[in-house]
Chains A and B, each alone.
Chain A
């Protein structure tokens, strides 16, 4: 289609319409509707809704509003919009767009259109409906415009691959031919409307009051959603052309490296900067205090910053600092102390009962067989491939922040408070995130450059080394679990008594607790001060291992097939309640035993569960419910006679509602399993003197290609439920399935991580 031709035709039509308006065109008015209401160009800066821009050459630029840390969200979200818009995916251009929010008259932060943070596997679930609506709105406007320009009823039109096709004539018009008109069409009832969405206020595009307004496709319809699509930004990634947070700079910036107090909750006692200041290109040395409120949990680690004109000078300057630390109050903490404290906490009287039903003690007394086990997991680090960094320029009445942050919308409220600069003058430029896994969700790495820019009056970029990153994180809590389970003479679980001792909740609610007539969940509160935070599948990441290993132990102890035993416990199809966190606001949260059994059966069927494994090989199964999605894994391993482990294959099934991009979905499952493998076999963060002593990749091996899982086979349950997350759902069942496979191969039950060389002794 020749675009200039179509435009000139449109102009002709316009002339015709205006010239004959009074007489000829009167009957046309009902088609156009009354032209009050707002047009897209005034509501959305000239675009057809917040995320859609039709370009002159009929390519369509779709804005991706959520930062991508490897989840593929910068492809997934535009797919949702493009699907609704009947766009040609090949010519879609994806553009990351900055976060958009404002303060309302009551001084509350309102986010525009979708939640812009990424965490808790909630990005797709949260954005699904608003993005469908945005795509539908754009298509609606294009069709309206086509009607107006061509004087043909839209009943005679179909849309396909970014073209409007007139059915009766077979003529094709590119969307771009109608873009200008579409942006100016006034849609009575179209507005933006703010409402509560979970913890947030969200201002969405609202067309509920438009008459015969946009219609959204039936879930699952369309040519793009559900089809495997490669990542739109792949070319930029493989050419090194994409900006990560670490690559964001200001012209004329200063560069800082900070020697932070290695002892958590310690601080600087005194320091001598003489030698540091003599290093070539070092311009200043500034002490950074704790920037959070007094008595508050750690915000940042206090320390001394060396400011230079380049990174190498800052690093050398930092090495020349002489600092005396005040170790704070926790220098008694080390790995042995943590292990003991988790045990001691279990017998203290602040242990809380979280859930209880039936008479657990009595049921245990009358059980035919008792299984009592203890499991232990050490601290895990994020080890994001991209270390932290952030740059800030604090000016008189404006602040610019550049980073790769998982929740960019949390930056402005902090900075407004810290600097006194009004919220609306704080601008955040968020880069791609080189791995987040929960680490880049906190404000600590933003607070430091803000402070230093205030002090120096210049833009300052703070670089973290790998050691800084490892030693000053908010990491996954160590955990100790004890479970006592009783079964009756038929092997039915009749008592389940479980306690967790870890910082942060373990989320043991749900399976199998809700299926056992007598159950009790307790939580102990070890007084461990290690700064902890979100880590891929918080709580579930260790609890999945524990519960699914325990079930396996019982099944094996009863001589039952581990798959059958799980299906037996899950019993008849039902919805059972749980109260762990979910990324979207849900009332009456329930888990479906049918969907859980569904993924178990699907994974088992695809793996050929029940077949005899060759010598040295073993197979294990497990399933978990994490943040709204269900996943089951069958893992095949080989352990040679020296105890060397090879993970031969993972066959997995997931039920995460409608799958938007199967290719990306599989990537998330693969990544989750690989991360689980590294965590289970290697992760073991070392402490001494109230500080982390593990520093760099030479201190801790992580899985490389030679130890990687050899093959994957993932399947998704065909579902029309709303899409739920994928980034965190593979790891919780993968780890126990791996351990159950190892048991199956070797007879060795792993109850304490890391696996290390436990198979070798």
Chain B
């Protein structure tokens, strides 16, 4: 039996240990904001946080997750107040189809923990999620804006 916390809720899991977290979130926990794009860790659409760090959930198995705490896009806003990264995404009107964006946002939240004031080069080297609609220019602007918003929120 695996016990894990998802968005603050304690949950139990007793199915296949090799099932990726991604499918647990989408099918068992009914949290479909986390997306499937490749299943091999290449695209980042499935990015969530495990114990505070960004992880591609298609590549982690349920059997390894006893005791961990998972945050998905649905758990990012607090009491209806959007996270600064989500706000920045709206203000820069980033999404086109939007499918990759929850993953982009989860990756950015973590990026900003490591680089609270990232340079373009730091973004280039550390933000690797794929967006097929090509929203990169606005993602970059939104990352900078989010960094700014987070500082002014402190």
Contact = CB atoms under 8 A, between A and B. Distances in A.
Nearest to B42: A697
A732 to B, nearest CB: 15
A63 interface: no
A242 interface: yes
A435 B130 CA distance: 13
A385 B33 contact: no
A242 B134 contact: no
Contacts of A664: 93
A265 interface: no
A234 B93 contact: yes
Given A238-B90, A696-B42, A70 B23 contact: no
Interface in A669-698: 670-675, 677-678, 696-698
Given A230-B90, A675-B134, A696-B42, A667 B74 contact: no
A722 interface: no
Interface string A654-677: 000000000110011011111101
A672 B96 CA distance: 11
A674 B134 contact: yes
Contacts of A69: 97
Contact of A384 (B31, B124, B129, B132): B132
A324 B82 CA distance: 53
Interface stretch (A102-110, A170-178, A412-420, A707-715): A707-715
Given A70-B98, A385-B43, A705-B124, A238 B86 contact: yes
Contact of A240 (B15, B72, B135): B72
Contacts of B20: 312
- A68, A233, A435: most-surrounded residue (chain B CB, <10 A): A435
Given A239-B86, A385-B99, A466-B39, A667 B138 contact: yes
B33 A70 contact: no
B97 A70 contact: yes
A75 B124 CA distance: 31
Interface string A376-391: 0000000111110000
B124 A706 contact: yes
B98 A466 contact: no
A316 B139 CA distance: 36
A194 interface: no
A678 B134 CA distance: 9
Contact of B99 (A72, A233, A434, A698): A434
Contacts of A675: 132-134
Interface in A214-241: 230-231, 233-235, 237-241
Contact of B40 (A387, A433, A671, A697): A697
Given A310-B23, A705-B123, A465 B93 contact: no
A648 interface: no
Nearest to A435: B97
Nearest to B28: A310
B144 interface: no
Nearest to A241: B33
Given A385-B43, A385-B97, A386-B97, A238 B134 contact: no
Contacts of A673: 134
A34 to B, nearest CB: 48
B90 A235 contact: yes
A216 to B, nearest CB: 28
Contact of B101 (A230, A237, A698, A712): A237
Given A237-B95, A247-B32, A708 B137 contact: yes
Contact of B43 (A244, A436, A697): A697
Contacts of B33: 239-241
B27 interface: yes
Nearest to A311: B23
B34 interface: yes
Contacts of B123: 705
Interface string B116-142: 000000011101111111111111100
A213 to B, nearest CB: 37
Interface string B85-122: 01001110111111111100100000000000000000
- B73, B76, B93, B131: most-surrounded residue (chain A CB, <10 A): B93
A150 to B, nearest CB: 39
A311 B132 contact: no
Given A231-B95, A675-B132, A240 B137 contact: no
A671 B95 contact: no
Interface in B11-36: 15-16, 19-20, 23, 26-27, 31-36
B37 interface: yes
B27 A311 contact: yes
A702 B132 contact: yes
A703 interface: yes
A79 to B, nearest CB: 14
Contact of B137 (A243, A384, A711): A711
Given A385-B37, A704-B130, A706-B125, A312 B16 contact: yes
Given A385-B45, A706-B128, 6 more contacts: A234-B90, A312-B16, A385-B100, A668-B96, A697-B43, A712-B137
21 contacts: A70-B133, A231-B95, A234-B93, A238-B89, A239-B73, A240-B31, A241-B33, A280-B16, A312-B19, A383-B132, A385-B43, A385-B131, A433-B97, A435-B132, A466-B38, A670-B138, A671-B135, A702-B130, A704-B130, A706-B124, A712-B137
Which 8 pairs across A and B sit closest by C-beta, in order of nearness? A240-B33, A674-B134, A434-B99, A70-B97, A70-B96, A708-B136, A240-B73, A706-B124
Interface of A: 68-72, 230-231, 233-235, 237-244, 246-247, 280, 310-313, 316, 383-387, 432-436, 465-466, 663-664, 667-668, 670-675, 677-678, 696-698, 702-706, 708-709, 711-712
